[in-house]
Amino acid sequence: MDVSFVELISLSSLGIVTGFAAGLLGLGGGLILVPFLTVMLEQHGVAPELTVKMAIATAMGTIVFTSIASVSAHHKRGNVRWDIVRSLSPGIVLGSWIASMGLFSHIKGAYLGLIFSAFIAFSAYQMFLDKRPEPTREFPKTFVRWIAGLAIGLLSGLVGAGGGFISVPFMLFCNIPLLNAVATSAALGFPIALSNVLGYTVSGWSVENLPAHSMGYIWLPALVLIATFSSTTARLGVRAAQTWPVKRLKRVFASLLVFLAAYMIYKSLSI
């Protein structure tokens, strides 16, 4: 693989951290990965206009593997609401294709970076807020679930996240218990990631000046290294979610997201 020793260590460390966070908090890892991959791709000599796009696409690719590891561990514990996964998935797939095959290639990298920053900030706000829904609120009917899936897939495709930043707050809003929401979000990460990876590959196939070992917008060396380690630590995160104070940890994680959002705004404005 065309990576230096420092990049190898950095990508492996990113895999360890993001995998654990995915299992623990139901986040696909893109919220952490995109800022760091943007820096690494820039140092690798990738044109500024492409760094954010490739970071988003590569981060999404790792979620394919992280979600499999995370959801298998949650499923063994009976935490996944498969009825929710089935009802949201059709809209998710359609929204993902609209984003990755259509909008993604036409929106400038700087604008995608700003969109990503906005949703990092939104995720941090949701984690800090920790609002409790009205006890009588129930999960919506089929049509609303389809629309919700469309929104989750579309926004995830634009920012390279597994959808947990939308789906977990949405499920909590509908009185789904936190552990079930985290587990179900991990399961939703698979159709989100797989659909978007296909789209990023197709839409980026003929793009010029991509680095060596790229598959469309996806940088394969980073994908392989991060996925190798994140698939292992995702299972550890699932175990920790059973006993650790997840709500408190979400607020700590939200503090990190604020700094990452500020950094991505700075990088996007400088492109």
Instruction: Look at residue 54 in the predicted model and tell me its pLDDT.
Output: 95
- Rounded Cα distance between 24 and 242, Å, is 9
State mean pLDDT over 160-182. 79
- The structure's pTM equals 0.82
Domain that holds residue 77: 5-270
Give me the number of domains the chain comprises. Answer: 1
Enumerate residues 6+ apart whose C-beta is below 8 A from 262.
117
For the chain, how far is it from start to end, CA to CA, in angstroms? 27
- Taking only the tens place, the pLDDT of each residue in 39-62 is 889 888 898 889 999 999 999 998
Alpha-carbon dihedral of residues 220, 230, 248, 122, nearest 10 degrees? Answer: 20
